[in-house]
Amino acid sequence: MQFLFAYPDPDFLINALADKNIENVDGWCANHHCVSAVSLYFLVISDKFPNIKNKLLENFKQLNLENISAYWWSDNIYTLYYLFLSYQKLNLKNEMEQIQNFISLKVENGFYKDTYGINLFFTALALEILTFNKSYKELNSKIADYLINNQFEDGSWQESNSLCIPRPNEINPINENYEVQTFGIGVCSHEFNRLFTTISALRSLYIWKNQN
């Protein structure tokens, strides 16, 4: 095992999709860093399956951060966020600082951009990652101000449209800008009711405020 996959059985998945136009699901059944990072975090906080947890940790540590991907998302910060949470829980300070340094270079202007443009969901994830390092106090205030200044009157934030649904046969869809749609494959999914962005912004601002 290197990393984990979302769907382990191609034949079962093809039957479940019940679409005569879909014959190849190699991409959806491949190993995915984002799925593995979320799974690792669950294994860390639940203290279950230590052999799998340790193998995932070992495999992630062998990768350069720029080579870590996020198959189902528009930027690898999603994967790095869950890696950071795992490292934080395990008190792996060196690994935490590596991610913080990597992310800090992408939010110098107070916001995070993916290939679609400014992404407030990812901006919130960046703030949470950096908040736990006092070296970035000034930058964190800049990011927090940006989020606060872009909050709507109803308390929400503009949707970020970060969740991607690659075509089932696409194994490595990096840097492919999909059209934003409410359904389908080969699309970037329109964020439902600004859910991911608003929850993450509120969470990161709450943590940031309590760290200051």
Threshold 0.85, pTM exceeds:
yes
With contact defined as beta carbons under 8 Å apart, do 107 and 137 qualify?
Answer: no
Q: Domain for residue 66, yes or no? A: yes
Q: Domain for residue 92, yes or no? A: yes
Q: Domain for residue 5, yes or no? A: no
Q: For 30-39, write each residue's pLDDT tens digit.
A: 999 999 999 9
Q: Which pLDDT score, from 0 to 100, does residue 3 have?
A: 83
Cα 76–Cα 6–Cα 187 angle in degrees, nearest 5: 60
Number of structural domains in the chain: 1
**What is the percent of the chain with per-residue pLDDT over 90, rounded to a whole number?**
87
Cα 207–Cα 34–Cα 42 angle in degrees, nearest 5: 60
Range of the domain at 157: 10-211
What's the token pair of residue 60?
A: 């992630």
110: left (phi over 0), alpha (psi -120 to 50) or beta: left
With contact defined as beta carbons under 8 Å apart, do 171 and 25 qualify?
Answer: no
Q: For 11-54, write each residue's pLDDT tens digit.
A: 999 999 999 889 999 999 999 999 999 999 999 999 989 999 99
CATH number at residue 39: 1.50.10.20
Q: Domain for residue 33, yes or no? A: yes
With contact defined as beta carbons under 8 Å apart, do 164 and 173 qualify?
Answer: yes
With contact defined as beta carbons under 8 Å apart, do 137 and 102 qualify?
Answer: no
Q: In this structure, how many other beta carbons lie within 10 angstroms of the beta carbon of residue 79?
A: 25
What's the token pair of residue 112?
A: 């995070």
- pLDDT for 147 beyond 90: yes
Q: For 61-77, write each residue's pLDDT tens digit.
A: 999 999 999 999 999 99
Q: For 172-190, write each residue's pLDDT tens digit.
A: 886 568 999 999 999 999 9
Q: Domain for residue 176, yes or no? A: yes
Q: 55 exposed, middle or buried (CB, 10 Å; 0-12, 13-18, 19+)?
A: middle
* Cα distance between residue 71 and residue 102, in whole Å: 19
Q: In this structure, how many other beta carbons lie within 10 angstroms of the beta carbon of residue 75?
A: 22
Q: Domain for residue 90, yes or no? A: yes
Q: Domain for residue 133, yes or no? A: yes
Q: Domain for residue 191, yes or no? A: yes
Q: For 112-122, write each residue's pLDDT tens digit.
A: 999 899 999 99
